[in-house]
């Protein structure tokens, strides 16, 4: 059992295995990081002439998700309004407002 766990660990953690195959077509997802937690071996279960050995490992993977979707609608026009206050041709205050016109319903 320990030898089997070691082989599975080596296959999963091998850096050459960059993709995780999810379907029968062979397409997969690119794995950025993988973490394989400590294995757990259950007690042997005798069944007649056989002994059943079971165990489990926790695999956590991180990947980049590319969201493909439709292009949204164009947004509203943004307006900019600048007001300048001056005394004797000297600017004393400038105020700029930026916003979107929203219809009142």
Number of domains in the chain: 1
Mean pLDDT of the chain, nearest integer: 76
Q: Assess if residue 13 is contained within a domain.
A: yes
The model scores a pTM over 0.85: no
C-alpha neighbours within 13 Å on the C-beta side of residue 40: 6
Q: What is the pLDDT of residue 22?
A: 58
What does the pLDDT look like over 22-39, one tens digit per residue? 556 656 667 777 888 877
* Greatest Cα-to-Cα distance within the chain, rounded to the nearest angstrom: 106
55 φψ region: left (φ > 0), alpha (ψ -120 to 50), beta (else): beta
Q: Assess if residue 73 is contained within a domain.
A: no
Q: Which domain holds residue 56?
A: 2-63
Percent of the chain whose pLDDT exceeds 90: 0
Q: Assess if residue 75 is contained within a domain.
A: no
Q: Assess if residue 19 is contained within a domain.
A: yes
Q: Assess if residue 41 is contained within a domain.
A: yes
Q: Assess if residue 6 is contained within a domain.
A: yes
What does the pLDDT look like over 62-94, one tens digit per residue? 877 766 766 776 777 777 777 777 777 777 777
Q: Assess if residue 44 is contained within a domain.
A: yes
Q: What is the pLDDT of residue 69?
A: 67
Q: In what order do the strands lie in the sheet with 59-63?
A: 19-21, 28-36, 59-63
């Amino acid at each position: 059992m320990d030898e089997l766990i070691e082989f599975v660990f080596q296959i999963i953690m091998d850096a050459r295995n960059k993709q995780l195959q999810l379907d029968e077509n062979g397409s997969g997802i690119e794995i950025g990081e993988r973490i394989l937690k400590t294995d757990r071996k259950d007690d042997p279960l005798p069944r007649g002439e056989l002994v059943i050995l079971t165990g489990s490992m926790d695999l956590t993977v991180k990947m980049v998700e590319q969201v493909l979707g439709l292009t949204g609608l164009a947004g509203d026009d943004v307006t900019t309004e600048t007001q300048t206050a001056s005394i004797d041709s000297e600017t004393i205050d400038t105020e700029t407002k930026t916003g979107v016109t929203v219809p009142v319903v």
